[in-house]
């Protein structure tokens, strides 16, 4: 995006003041330089939003201040850990166990007789009532209850034995 030479000169003239303000906000020269650079990038990218005749310094300082506060809010939620000591203490259980458990369950479910598997899936996974499952399978409610009970018992046996 092209910036008018006059606006470019005014922005460059504001650099020392912007840097001093950024240092006063952040207390860190390196961080201040980053803030000023980001301010310039945003001002450059959005120069069409600047109203000619208004106070350019106020616009630039507002951008810098907003950047600082946005970053401050973000950093306040982060845990400082420059040497990685905190991160090295964090642990999360491996996902493999859950994936293996699911795989074991799927294998055991596949070993059930089709009518038991169907009844168990309709009741347990799909959430149908026994009456609705019975209607779907065109059998009595007692038959569905029996199939689900036998399926649960057999599934438990298969999962316990690991076969």
Q: What is the pLDDT of residue 52?
A: 81
Judgement on whether residues 53 and 19 belong to the same structural domain of the protein: yes
More confident residue, 101 or 154: 154
Q: Is 47 exposed, middle or buried (0-12, 13-18, 19+ CB in 10 A)?
A: middle
pLDDT in tens, 94-149: 666 667 778 888 888 889 998 998 899 889 888 889 998 999 889 999 999 999 99
123, 132 contact by CB (below 8 A): no
Judgement on whether residues 76 and 108 belong to the same structural domain of the protein: no
Q: How many domains does the chain have?
A: 2
pLDDT for residue 29 is more than 60: yes
Judgement on whether residues 108 and 74 belong to the same structural domain of the protein: no
Q: Is residue 47 part of a domain?
A: yes
Q: What is the pLDDT of residue 125?
A: 82
Out of 26, 48, 80, pick the residue that ends a domain: 80
Judgement on whether residues 10 and 66 belong to the same structural domain of the protein: yes
Q: Is residue 38 part of a domain?
A: yes
pLDDT in tens, 137-148: 899 999 999 999
Cα–Cα distances in angstroms (integers) from residue 122 to residues 8, 31, 97, in the given order = 69, 60, 26
Q: Is residue 96 part of a domain?
A: no
Which CATH number fits the domain that encloses residue 32? Answer: 1.10.1740.10
More confident residue, 5 or 15: 15
This prediction's pTM = 0.47
Q: What is the pLDDT of residue 85?
A: 78
Find the length of the chain. Answer: 163
Rounded to whole angstroms, how far apart are CA atoms 22 and 16?
10
Q: Is residue 93 part of a domain?
A: no
Q: What is the pLDDT of residue 35?
A: 94
pLDDT in tens, 39-97: 999 988 887 888 888 888 888 999 999 999 888 777 777 777 778 777 777 777 666 66
Q: Is residue 91 part of a domain?
A: no
Rounded to whole angstroms, how far apart are CA atoms 75 and 69?
10
Quote the domain boundaries for residue 42.
5-80
């Amino acid at each position: 995006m092209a910036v008018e030479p006059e606006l470019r000169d005014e922005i460059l003239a504001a650099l020392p003041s912007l840097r001093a303000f950024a240092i006063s906000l952040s207390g860190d020269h390196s961080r201040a330089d980053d803030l000023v650079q980001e301010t310039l990038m945003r001002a450059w990218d959005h120069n069409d939003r600047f109203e000619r005749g208004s106070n350019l310094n106020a616009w630039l300082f507002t951008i810098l201040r907003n950047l600082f506060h946005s970053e401050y809010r973000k950093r306040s939620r982060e845990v400082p850990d420059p040497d990685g000591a905190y991160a090295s203490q964090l642990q999360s259980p491996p996902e493999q166990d859950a994936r293996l458990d699911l795989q074991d369950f799927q294998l055991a479910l596949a070993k059930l007789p089709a009518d038991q598997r169907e009844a168990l899936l309709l009741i347990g996974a799909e959430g149908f009532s026994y009456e609705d499952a019975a209607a779907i399978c065109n059998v009595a409610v007692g038959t569905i209850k029996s199939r689900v009970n036998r399926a649960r018992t057999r599934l438990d046996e298969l999962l316990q034995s690991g076969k």
